[in-house]
A and B are shown apart, each in its own frame.
Chain A
């Protein structure tokens, strides 16, 4: 007998059937391009493997793409015959890809998960791929350093002369540090960076390297530097992995978000599976798993993150209050100008 409950259930099943069938019939291979090293290792464990369990017919190939600029370069070079389906990269470069038609626009009709994202996450990509992780610039310091740095202004301490590793522009860390220093000096990067340049010029003679290789965390662990700029997520993980040999400081003067967006390549050869992966990467489960593993702040507002893990990201209310709102699309317009000022004023003062 057809009861009302049965009728509703049948109706819902009918509506859901295409999606269920699609999920069951997804197959083939997709190529995901993003950062190598610990990002790849942890993203594979927390996001890719669960996706493959949900869709046994789909194989996700992770291709390390180097820096974000190198990734957009690869996608640009493959425009006529795309070899990658999904790319996770920094928003400053993904916006270049969006303008060049390398990535697809995503609609809430096809990706209902977009409605679960933070407004900042949606805004980051515009109509294109949204933010998948948030990170922020931190000061990384040798745990043996005494006294420990407690604020950004401490980087100028005389005892640190010759032990500082900074990543100068055009590296995005250098751009972020410029905005942070301007704020520390009471200015606003949108109006001028004169105060930041003056202050950074004072720091320059004490800087060991403006191009940390392989990175600031390693230089501290190898004893080459005592203080460096870094990204929170990686710094937190390195701190854990080395049993606290490095400490991570979110300066009370403020920090800057770095946004990674997830992008669906225009002309993807296995679009259905690639779109399913994008939806999965933005889902509550994937966001929770990755945040708790690697301390990137989630972009899905509904993800229920463990309180301890959340406190180590910029998503906790206390940390969130310290963030300086930076519009990376605006910074892109002045990037070359900042880069030239660093070379002519800051780095020149270090020679």
Chain B
């Protein structure tokens, strides 16, 4: 057997691993979606579409979908506006500290999500850094409501996806050629015009890639909406958790999990199509 023919054998360990830890549990989840829950909460083994019908007849499912899409869109947009300049700076800088700066930019990824969220509670709470500072400067008399609502969740989520978006942008900046910008400048374009007509269009594939990643991560985020939402922010991820671990309603949790997965796959396909079109 030639080396090239033997190459696919390298895929066997990873395939087996994924089959055991991902495909098999996913099939179990799929099976649960067809079970029913009796009036006293006990799960009844069945092959029934009753849970699917009940879930999609409930207007709350669509409220959850809209909430998730809205929250993910806003968080992704905010994170993109913050991540783009950082990534561009890291991509362009010749500083010998470039590596260190890159590590600093993605450092939040290395900290547990729960710890980061509790950090936000300390910063945004009624007696947190932001409110204390604003009150001591005399800008506000009563604390602003920055946590346990949509504002807190949006801020926390944007921060949590930003490092991933920085990495995605850096990976996608490959086509960004400095000589093209220099050519634009030498032809008399202002820095803003150069950015608008050269830099931004060339970095659109990277933006699409980062936005897709940020959106998917926001849609599946659980810790931030749960801890910073104060029970007011209902999204698909929190509902799946509540149904599985508080209501013991595994069939509904499974239906919502499959629905979310399909929704995310559809969004990824759209994101990839956009990225490809922009690369042409």
Chain B binds chain A: yes
Binding site for B on A (CB under 8 A): 66-67, 69-70, 72-73, 76, 92-93, 95-96, 99-100, 162, 167-168, 170-171, 208-211, 213, 223-224, 329, 332-333, 335-336, 339-340, 343-344, 347, 350-351
Residues of B within 8 A of A329 (CB): 40
Q: Please state if B227 and A213 are interface contacts (CB–CB under 8 Å).
A: yes
Q: Please state if B248 and A69 are interface contacts (CB–CB under 8 Å).
A: yes
Sample of 4 more A-B contacts, CB < 8 Å, known A93-B248, A170-B246: A69-B248, A73-B248, A96-B43, A336-B247
Residues of A within 8 A of B188 (CB): none
Q: Is B214 an interface residue (CB 8 A)?
A: no
Q: Please state if A96 and B231 are interface contacts (CB–CB under 8 Å).
A: no
CB B27 to nearest CB in A, in angstroms, measures 14
A70 to B250, CA, bound (A): 11
Q: Please state if B60 and A100 are interface contacts (CB–CB under 8 Å).
A: no
Q: Please state if B246 and A171 are interface contacts (CB–CB under 8 Å).
A: yes
Residues of A within 8 A of B226 (CB): 211, 213
A93 to B245, CA, bound (A): 11
Q: Please state if B40 and A170 are interface contacts (CB–CB under 8 Å).
A: no
Complex: chain B residue closest to A163, CB-CB: B126
Residues of A within 8 A of B248 (CB): 69, 72-73, 93, 96
Interface residues of B in 175-233 (CB under 8 A from A): 226-227, 229-232
Complex: chain A residue closest to B244, CB-CB: A73
A223 to B250, CA, bound (A): 37
A296 to B242, CA, bound (A): 27
Residues of A within 8 A of B230 (CB): 208-211
Complex: chain A residue closest to B142, CB-CB: A162
Complex: chain B residue closest to A166, CB-CB: B231
Do most interface residues of chain A lie in helix, strand or loop, or is the interface mixed?
helix
Interface residues of B in 239-280 (CB under 8 A from A): 242, 244-248, 250
Complex: chain A residue closest to B121, CB-CB: A224
Residues of B within 8 A of A336 (CB): 247
Q: A208-B230, A211-B229 are in contact. Are A67 and B42 (CB under 8 A)?
A: no
A250 to B127, CA, bound (A): 29
Q: Please state if A340 and B245 are interface contacts (CB–CB under 8 Å).
A: no
Q: Please state if B227 and A170 are interface contacts (CB–CB under 8 Å).
A: no
Residues of B within 8 A of A170 (CB): 242, 246-247
CB A35 to nearest CB in B, in angstroms, measures 14
A67, A95, A223, A332 — which one has the most chain B CB atoms within 10 A of its CB? Answer: A332
Q: Is B91 an interface residue (CB 8 A)?
A: no
A336 to B246, CA, bound (A): 11
Complex: chain A residue closest to B126, CB-CB: A224
Residues of A within 8 A of B126 (CB): 162, 224
Q: Please state if A347 and B40 are interface contacts (CB–CB under 8 Å).
A: no
Q: A67-B245, A336-B247 are in contact. Are A99 and B232 (CB under 8 A)?
A: no
Q: Please state if A208 and B246 are interface contacts (CB–CB under 8 Å).
A: no
CB B151 to nearest CB in A, in angstroms, measures 11
Name A70's contact: one of B39, B41, B149, B245 (CB within 8 Å). Answer: B245
Complex: chain B residue closest to A172, CB-CB: B246
Residues of B within 8 A of A332 (CB): 39-41
CB B11 to nearest CB in A, in angstroms, measures 30
Residues of B within 8 A of A340 (CB): 60
Name A66's contact: one of B38, B227, B245, B247 (CB within 8 Å). Answer: B245
4 A-B pairs with the lowest CB-CB distances in the bound complex, closest first: A210-B231, A211-B231, A209-B230, A99-B42
Complex: chain A residue closest to B125, CB-CB: A224
Residues of B within 8 A of A72 (CB): 248
CB A142 to nearest CB in B, in angstroms, measures 14
A329 to B41, CA, bound (A): 9
CB B237 to nearest CB in A, in angstroms, measures 14
**What would 27 A/B residue contacts be, using CB atoms closer than 8 Å?**
A67-B245, A69-B245, A69-B247, A69-B248, A76-B43, A96-B43, A96-B248, A99-B41, A100-B43, A168-B231, A171-B246, A208-B230, A209-B148, A209-B230, A209-B231, A210-B232, A211-B226, A211-B230, A211-B231, A213-B226, A223-B127, A224-B125, A329-B40, A333-B39, A343-B60, A347-B231, A347-B232
Q: Please state if A95 and B40 are interface contacts (CB–CB under 8 Å).
A: yes
Q: Is B52 an interface residue (CB 8 A)?
A: no
Complex: chain A residue closest to B143, CB-CB: A162
